[in-house]
Amino acid sequence: MAPIISIAGVSKTYDTGFTALKTVNLDIERGEIFALLGPNGAGKTTLISIVCGIVNRSSGTVTVDGHDIGSDYRAARSLIGLVPQELTVEAFETVANALAFSRGLFGRPADPAFVEKVLKDLSLWDKRDAKIITLSGGMKRRVMIGKALAHEPRILFLDEPTAGVDVELRKDMWAMVRALRDSGVTIILTTHYIEEAEEMADRVGVINHGEIVLVEDKTELMRKLGRKQLTVQLRDPLRTVPEALAAYRLDLSPDGGTLTYTYDNQADRPGVASLLRDLESAGLAFRDVDTQASSLEEIFVNLVRKTP
Amino acid sequence: MSRHAANPRAVWAIYKVEMARTLRTVMQSVISPVISTSLYFVVFGAAIGSRISEINGISYGAFIVPGLIMLSLLTQSISNASFGIYFPKFVGTIFEILSAPVSYLEVVLAYVGAAATKSVAIGLIILATAALFVPLHIEHPFWMVAFLLLTAITFSLFGFIIGIWARSFEQLQLVPLLIVTPLTFLGGSFYSIDMLPGVWRTITLFNPVVYLVSGFRWAFFGHADVSLAVSLTMTLVFLAACIAVIAWIFRTGYRLKT
Ligand SMILES: Nc1ncnc2c1ncn2[C@@H]1O[C@H](COP(=O)(O)OP(=O)(O)O)[C@@H](O)[C@H]1O
Ligand SMILES: [Mg+2]
């Protein structure tokens, strides 16, 4: 199926002369949760602001469900809901009015029943008549999500949805995002929390210094790039690693009791089975063996460190 | 694709929110112009009017009514429209409007429409207040309403431009304070420009407000400092200039999009 969002050759140089995006090419698949992962200042907000029509691009084209965001902006934008990074709300408006406004702004007829459903899903129904200024930060963020959902978007952008959000609410938010995805909404979230990408995403794009350095299926990414470690607890401590095991480039712990073998699945070093065999033939007895896969965090740090 | 041809619901949504804001601040929006107008009547009408008995055969109290309404219409249109668009820029809620399927024309229509509605309402309230102080007779009601609407729309557009241009609340106040208020006071609101010495009269003719006040006064009393045709032309020229600037702003995204 054709991607729901297609970003081709998009770059952005701000008036200050700063190039926030180099040439970005990215396709978002229909119905997926896509995590755009990158450190602060990488260009995540800039990229989604371009797709949503808030920032002008310097070059390139973007289509949303086949509609060009320039020449066919009405069709493109009516499909998109955006929850921006900053909490910006109409302080003196009531919660229900704020959602009704968003719905109208996106050209949808009033539908109190739908607004009620959204408010209930976000646990805001009790607060429907409260002025937004009287709400807590977490509630304000949910109001912003409610506003983005009020016009029944097919695509939802969440810019750092859980930044500064407590653990409880974060879990709720993740559950809500999954439920939305299950209802067919495509979700693009930006984050600099690896945990979030790891927990939520179907695919991960890593952005750094205005460039997409990698786009990969999350499990594939972890499989391909994930380093693994095998730790061997020795029965008798060693002074040095035996010569016969040099090819494995093992790390010996300071107390001599633990050997660590680091390998990745692309196998530029001999496998685990042969290591265990060679350990035996070197006459080393071991008490325990343990393996650990590295998290997306380490993958990410490695990637970001590699690029200039 | 007819769903994507235009978005009248968005215009209505913005218009409603803007009008609701007025009702929330009804004290500041409506009552304060009424009070200040009454004060003008007391000070100018009663105190000065007792010395200047008549201008062109009209009692001074009645003479200043069109000028007073114009004064409020101008300041209200500018402040309503400039604040209306500046505020979402300032707090950041503008993102939603920029990301919505609305054309710029629709955005202008909503904000300027709301600002103009408010200032016309205030103009009419002042007219009603004035009627309590002086007997009023309107010679050309059609033209009175026409000038009221034209001025409200033109200066709401002008205010919208200021609101987009302003980067701070100080800047937002700057243009009304430094340019509009002096032009209004020097624009013949409280006197006939015939009363000025020759040189000043010529200089005054460069003040666009003179034409508005004059046209409006003509609608009330049937004669004025400059002819109706000139007044109307000058007003339309200013309207066209504002529309041109707004078209340019939206073509370039000036101070709205980076
Ligand atoms: N309006 C702007 N003018 C100039 N530079 C900007 C502007 N907005 C963002 N930038 C710069 O562009 C870079 C990317 O910003 P942003 O897209 O917000 O990053 P992220 O969302 O990944 O943290 C940053 O270095 C930021 O300082
Ligand atoms: Mg950001």
The candidate with the shortest Cα–Cα distance to B101, out of B16, B7, B15, is: B7
Question: Which residue segments constitute the domains of chain A, with CATH numbers given?
Answer: 5-223 (3.40.50.300), 226-294 (3.30.70.980)
Per-residue burial over A257-287, b if 16 or more Cβ lie within 10 Å, else e, is ebbebbbbeeeeeeeeeebeebbeeeebebe
Helix (H, G, I), strand (E, B) or coil at B27: helix
Quick one: pLDDT at residue A297? Answer: 66
Within 10 A of A237 (CB to CB), how many other CB atoms are there?
Answer: 11
Q: Would the CB of A73 count as within 6 Å of ligand 1? A: no
Tell me how far apart the terminal alpha carbons of chain A are, to the nearest angstrom. 35
CA B233 to chain centre: 17
Q: HSE (CB half, 13 Å, CA atoms) of B228?
A: 11
Cβ atoms < 10 Å from Cβ of B167: 11
Substitution target in A49, A85, A105, A131 with the highest count of B β-carbons within 10 Å is: A105
pLDDT confidence band for B4 (50 / 70 / 90): low
- pLDDT of the residue at A229: 80
- How do residues A174-214 score in pLDDT, each as one tens digit? 888 999 999 999 999 998 877 788 888 999 999 999 999 88
Instruction: Work out the average pLDDT over B81-98.
Output: 93
The partner residues of A67 in beta bridges, in order of sequence, read A64
Enumerate the domain spans of chain B: 2-252
A244 DSSP 8-state letter: G
User: For ligand 1, atom 7, which residue shows the shortest CA distance?
Assistant: A14
User: With 60 as the cut, is the pLDDT of residue A273 above it?
Assistant: yes
**Binary contact (A88, B93; C-beta < 8 A):** yes
Residue A157 clears pLDDT 80, i.e. is over it: yes
Distance CA A159, CA A190 (A): 5
With the C-alpha atoms ordered A146, A147, A152, A158, is the resulting torsion angle positive or negative? negative
**Residue B2 pLDDT greater than 50, yes or no:** no
Please report which confidence band the pLDDT of residue A270 belongs to, taking 50, 70 and 90 as the band edges. low
Of B1, B10, B91, the CB nearest to A105: B10
CA B5 to chain centroid = 32
pLDDT at A33 over 90: yes
3-state secondary structure of A303: helix
Ligand 2 centroid – CA A48 distance (Å): 9
The pLDDT of residue A226 is above 80: no
Confidence of residue A51 (pLDDT cuts 50, 70, 90): very high
Residue in B12, B20, B101 closest to A106 by CB: B101
Give A94's DSSP letter.
B
What size, in residues, is chain A?
308
Mean pLDDT of chain A: 89
* pLDDT above 90: residue B157: yes
Ligand 1 in reach of A45 Cβ (< 6 A)? yes
**Considering only CA atoms, which of A71, A69, A62, A56 is closest in space to residue A13?**
A56
Sign of CA dihedral A125, A127, A132, A135: negative
Task: Quote the pTM value.
Answer: 0.84
Listed in order, strand segments (DSSP E) in A29-171 are 33-37, 59-64, 67-68, 80-83, 155-159
**pLDDT tens digits for B122-131?**
999 889 888 8
